[in-house]
Structure 1
Amino acid sequence: MVSFLSSCNKLGLLFLFSVLLIGFNSCEGRRLVESSETQQPLQFQYHNGPLLGGKISINLIWYGKFKPSQRAIVLDFVASLTSAGKSTTAQPSVATWWKQIERYYQLAKNKNRRSSNLVLSMGRQILDENYSLGKSLTTQQIVKLASKGAQKDAINVVLTSADVVVEGFCMSRCGTHGSGLGSASGKRSKFAYIWVGNSETQCPGQCAWPFHQPIYGPQNPPLVAPNNDVGLDGMVVNLASLLAGTATNPFGNGFFQGPKEAPLEAASACPGIYGKGAYPGYAGELLVDSATGGSYNAHGVSGRKYLVPALFDPAASTCSTLV
């Protein structure tokens, strides 16, 4: 069933990754970065493969117990990505952050004419509150859950609750993106999927930084989560990173830097950077909500505030932040 799998977020000293591989891996997650004095310039390459283009729905598959208030955090984030969010929210916004992805599409069009602009929208929600596959999942089972969503013109996002153990979760990854094989209109075709786990009780020091004290590296005080939910705010950061990687490198032959077996993608090339001046243990200069004390760098719909990762600018060869 699976054509490609991906995994990410191996936490070591200063949260530097080492990537675990299963077939093609594109990875993303949470890590701190080396200082600018030691970091080498990245040279992104386009490998002439298709990007996700056209009208794409984001289907959310909720596995396990999530409160309605928790689901609302993610739903509002997805809504914030759409064109409607561009004119209804304050700046800097989630929509403005996502618009940076267009740089990749323009470069792809210059190389070949197969790439079309990407327009995201909210799709279906599937609730699996009864743990149909149990509370301990393998990577294959994650792909099986993802296949429950639409398998054409969609990104199927599996979100597992805090009491669900997933193969490699915390030990080697906080989330993953890849593709599987499904049937659409009687034809076998690839579909893109993402998995993100709620790390609130299992490994917040690894997967919910900077909203929790880190396990490794500099021990700066954690930031206040903008939506007052360490687990869900952490999931949003990982989801944002994985969406960027999925759009620009969905099948392992899009945009990435380094070897195909361990690629750095649009967001994973800028680990731990959320604002200007970021360095290991410090997320950068962020905005702070005067009422809640929550740290953020992007406004969303419904008055929401979010933290989104820096994205690599392939034209300037730098990590670009909103603040």
Structure 2
Amino acid sequence: MISLVKAVVFLSLVQVCIGGGRGLTALVQQPPLVLTYHKGDLLHGALPVNIVWYGRFTAAQRSIVVDFLTSLNQRTKEKSPAVSSWWELTEEYSAKAGRPSTTNVLLGKQVIDEECSLGKSLKRTQIKDLAAKAVASNGITLVLTSKDVAVEGFCMSSCGLHDSAPLAKGLKEKFAYIWVGNSETQCPGQCAWPFHQPLYGPQTPPLVAPNGDVGVDGMIINIASLLAGTVTNPFGNGYFQGAATAPMEAASACPGMYGKNAYPGYAGDLLVDSASGASYNANGINGRQYLLPALWDPKTSSCFTLV
């Protein structure tokens, strides 16, 4: 059986349904959140990420994603705050567990399936089949579906997931995979917030997307969230809180937080590009700007943001 390590992303529902202002709970001292380490494997070292592009993506859209993945390891080469500084926090999980702590993302092979070989309405089980087209031993396969591809549960319960499967039939060794869908036309109010007005809650004006693409900039948020969850809980026995089938992980432990002073419905105090008016909190290669989610910091047991 496939180990179900589902990091289902309820970003919009958690972020905006609670209300638009600070409630009384903001005045109450909350106990620190703790993600428990369950003694399982963590991903570390050279970490190849292979991509399956399912459906039609433009060259510009692909470059946004590829530049983000490449930026994860460009230490000291980017303007501050840097994408690589955000990624370095995931290494603290391995260090705390007494494991090798360096995690270097390597861009692997890319498989393009523009004609949608399995159709444009996918079951969750078919995501695993697509991931198998680009298996990465000791790595991650990233399956990305285009805006006209429907996936079971997409928008209704999740914006993406991560899971694992055997490298080959009969083998115990597994590979990790992630799926994220482009929500531009299906549910941007759920999966592309804060670059689109939320489906629920206060209808605050959306932020300007840093790369000019609401769907793909929203995908970056979900890719980042699930990458962090995959590295720190790849096979369901790493760092998480709650049930293993629906765990609270590195990023999902800090929902809706992108900058300081964030609260439900407000992403936080972010950087704003003077030319484009776009909101962001991280710099990447090729002059890219990205909005990345807060991560739970195992040193402080609190949510960490770059700005």
Q: Deviations over 1:232-259 (max 9, x none)?
A: 0000000000000000000111111223
Residues 146 and 16 of structure 1: is their aligned pair in 2 closer, same or farther, counting only changes over 3 Å?
A: farther
Quote how far apart the aligned CAs of 1:41 are. Answer: 2.6
Quote how far apart the aligned CAs of 1:181 are. Answer: 1.2
Residues 261 and 150 of structure 1: is their aligned pair in 2 closer, same or farther, counting only changes over 3 Å?
A: closer
1:206 paired with 2:197, answer no
Q: Distance in 2 between matches of 1:55 and 1:12?
A: 35
For structure 1, the 5+ residue unaligned runs are 18-31
Answer yes or no: is the 8 Å Cα contact 1:58–1:123 preserved in 2. yes
Answer yes or no: is the 8 Å Cα contact 2:3–2:236 preserved in 1. no
The count of aligned residue pairs is 302
Alignment of structure 1 residues 17-56 onto 2, 5 Å: 36-37=26-27, 40-56=31-47
Which of 211, 214, 238 aligns to 1:227? It is: 211
Which of 75, 85, 100 aligns to 2:89? It is: 100
Q: CA RMSD in A?
A: 2.1
Alignment of structure 1 residues 118-267 onto 2, 5 Å: 118-183=103-168, 187-267=171-251
Quote how far apart the aligned CAs of 1:40 are. Answer: 4.7
Alignment of structure 1 residues 58-137 onto 2, 5 Å: 58-82=49-73, 85-109=74-98, 113=99, 115-137=100-122
Q: Distance in 1 between matches of 2:303 and 2:297?
A: 6
Residues 263 and 40 of structure 1: is their aligned pair in 2 closer, same or farther, counting only changes over 3 Å?
A: farther
Letter in 2 for 1:290: S
Q: Distance in 2 between matches of 1:298 and 1:14?
A: 20
Quote how far apart the aligned CAs of 1:8 are. Answer: 1.3
Answer yes or no: is the 8 Å Cα contact 2:16–2:202 preserved in 1. no
Answer yes or no: is the 8 Å Cα contact 1:14–1:218 preserved in 2. no
Residues 92 and 14 of structure 1: is their aligned pair in 2 closer, same or farther, counting only changes over 3 Å?
A: closer
Answer yes or no: is the 8 Å Cα contact 1:217–1:280 preserved in 2. no
TM-score normalised by structure 1 residue count? 0.88
Q: Deviations over 1:10-58 (max 9, x none)?
A: 45475469xxxxxxxxxxxxxx998644655312211111101221101
Q: Distance in 2 between matches of 1:137 and 1:213?
A: 27
Q: Distance in 2 between matches of 1:119 and 1:240?
A: 15
Answer yes or no: is the 8 Å Cα contact 1:58–1:155 preserved in 2. yes
For structure 2, the 5+ residue unaligned runs are none
Which of 232, 255, 274 aligns to 1:271? It is: 255
Q: Distance in 2 between matches of 1:132 and 1:163?
A: 14
Q: Deviations over 1:139-161 (max 9, x none)?
A: 11001101111241220000000
Quote how far apart the aligned CAs of 1:317 are. Answer: 1.1
Q: Structure 1 stretch 50-59 or stretch 129-138: which is displaced more?
A: 50-59
Answer yes or no: is the 8 Å Cα contact 2:161–2:179 preserved in 1. yes
Q: Distance in 2 between matches of 1:167 and 1:179?
A: 18
Residues 162 and 178 of structure 1: is their aligned pair in 2 closer, same or farther, counting only changes over 3 Å?
A: same
